[in-house]
Amino acid sequence: MPKNTISTLLEMKQRGEKISQLTCYDYTTARIIDAAGINTVLVGDSLGNTMQGYENTLPVTMEEMITYGRSAVRGCKDAFVIIDMPFMSYQVSAQQALTNAGRLIKETGGNAVKLEGGAAVTEQIKAIVDAGIPVCAHIGMTPQSVNVFGGFKVQGKGEDNARRVLEDALAVQQAGAFMVVLECVPPKLAALITKKVDMITIGIGAGNGCDGQVLVYQDMLGMSGEFVPKFVKRFAEIGTAMSDAFKAYDAEVKAGTFPTEELSYAKSDCDDEFLQQLDKEYK
Ligand code: KIV
């Protein structure tokens, strides 16, 4: 059992302590994130963008979520790991959602699943929760609906839209979700939702009135290139550090200055006379 569980996370909300979440898709990064004390790791289908280079998350498959998901889970000791349900792995029916949520948990070892949508997916949430799998919902700007939204835009602007986002939050809570991601929602609306619900709210582009925050780790480390969404703070410039290191390596390899003698195994590991014999044998 990780140190962070649903109970400890809900207690944090009750005490007014903020909850940290980062996306992660691999073992090496998961170990670093976990050791840094981040409360929850999200194996997001954003891996379609960050790891696979697609324009959006729609092509990501169940098999890919399982492969990346189990790698990240292996790197986490204390973080609570949530695995995203990819596009079309749950929209068809509650039965399809339950079957795929079960696969994600059984085959990755994750602690919960996340799916996008509000009132439209409450049947699915209920079926998954009834089977003993915790569900994190995701409302506001839901990237799997990019073709409906016509781009990645703030949701919940104007009275009707704000009411719809609030009603989505209440609906997913009623269906049994223990956590909800609020993506690209006006900060005051996100704060109101956070006050109105007992489940944990995690914001991304939703201001600081949520119970916690999530960012895509490549964005916050400065690894995602020129474009960064307005809500992203770059906590480091790892992309630049990597590029500098790769260039220095390239230069040393080409100059023949890497590896040095200290970085090589002892010369005495190989007998000189034997090497001469080999040299003669293999003309
Ligand atoms: O897929 C993802 O990484 C997400 C977060 C950005 C919330 O859904």
pLDDT tens digits for range 94-144: 999 999 999 999 999 999 999 999 999 999 999 999 999 999 999 999 999
* 151, pLDDT greater than 80: no
User: What's the pTM value of the predicted model, to 2 decimals?
Assistant: 0.95
Instruction: Give me the pLDDT at residue 174, please.
Output: 98
Distance CA 141, CA 151 (A): 10
pLDDT tens digits for range 58-100: 999 999 999 999 999 999 999 999 999 999 999 999 999 999 9
- Quick check: is 183 catalytic? yes
Choose, from 183, 226, 252, 261, the residue flagged as catalytic: 183
225 vs 60, 102, 234, 240, 251, CA distance in Å?
22, 36, 11, 10, 23
CA-wise closest residue to 35 among 78, 96, 88: 78
Phi-psi region of 272 (alpha: psi -120 to 50; beta: other; left: phi over 0): alpha
pLDDT tens digits for range 160-212: 999 999 999 999 999 999 999 999 999 999 999 999 999 999 999 999 999 99
Residues 6+ positions from 150 with CB-CB distance below 8 Å: none
Q: Whose CA is nearest to atom 2 of ligand 1?
A: 44
Binding-site residues, ligand 1, Cβ < 6 A: 23, 42, 44-46, 84, 138, 181, 183, 204, 214, 216
220 C-alpha to ligand 1 centroid (Å): 13
Distance CA 72, CA 78 (A): 12
